[in-house]
Amino acid sequence: MWDRAEKAERVLARADCGFAYRDSRLKREPGRLVVLEVTFALLPGDVSRPVVYAELARRLGVEIGGTAPLADVREAVLGLRRGKGMVWDEAEPDSRSAGSFFTNPVVPAAQAVEGCPSWPAGDGVVKLSAAWLVQHAGFGPSTRSGLVGTSSRHSLALTTEDGATAAELLAFADHVVATVRGRFGVTLEREPTAVRP
């Protein structure tokens, strides 16, 4: 890692990174640490870990918590991501994105939005579908503002066209956040971290 505050290179062990679902020390100290290199410790084998993602389990034809051959899991994950335009392909305009741009918001159960899919997320709180909120706030697939907008396949993915600037993309994202907040009283959080020089 490059530590921008200390102007020095650092090595962090996994435990130092504070990894959690869509969270880490990198997100809690935005812009400070820049990843330069990653080393993965993979377990050898031919069978996956338990599958906990419902859409992936359905694609594989296994129950949540079941396992499948690793090769099948790899192909299923790539197929799901490719179907949403989230596998880089120079010929695919929808792949010009950082993936899902907003996280699913966790709100008090009393603040759940009628009609919005939700899942239990702890004591008295639920996780809402950010995709549903974005779409029902008027930003369906292929919503454009100049050279930026939503993917034609997945409204949570914000895409760019040649010549777009980061400022245009962030302004569009801010517009989505403000519109969702105004319509549903829920504030979306960005998934990618913007790092400024």
Where are the alpha helices (H) located in 84-165, listed in sequence order? Answer: 130-136
Backbone dihedral region for residue 35 (phi beyond 0: left; psi -120 to 50: alpha; all else: beta): beta
Give the whole-angstrom CA distance, residue 130 versus residue 181. 12
Q: Which two tokens stand for residue 69?
A: 């051959």
The single residue of 14, 22, 28, 74 carrying the catalytic annotation is 22
Is 114 part of the annotated catalytic residue set?
A: no
Note whether 12 and 43 are within 8 A (CB). no
- Edge to edge, what strands does the sheet with 118-120 contain? 106-108, 125-128, 118-120
Give the whole-angstrom CA distance, residue 87 versus residue 24. 23
Give the whole-angstrom CA distance, residue 38 versus residue 53. 24
DSSP SS3 for 193: coil
Is 24 part of the annotated catalytic residue set?
A: no
Note whether 120 and 53 are within 8 A (CB). no
Residue 58 C-alpha from the chain's centroid? 20
Is 100 part of the annotated catalytic residue set?
A: yes
The single residue of 95, 97, 100, 155 carrying the catalytic annotation is 100
Element (H or E) spanning 166, and its range? helix 166-184
Question: Which residues carry out catalysis?
Answer: 22, 100, 191
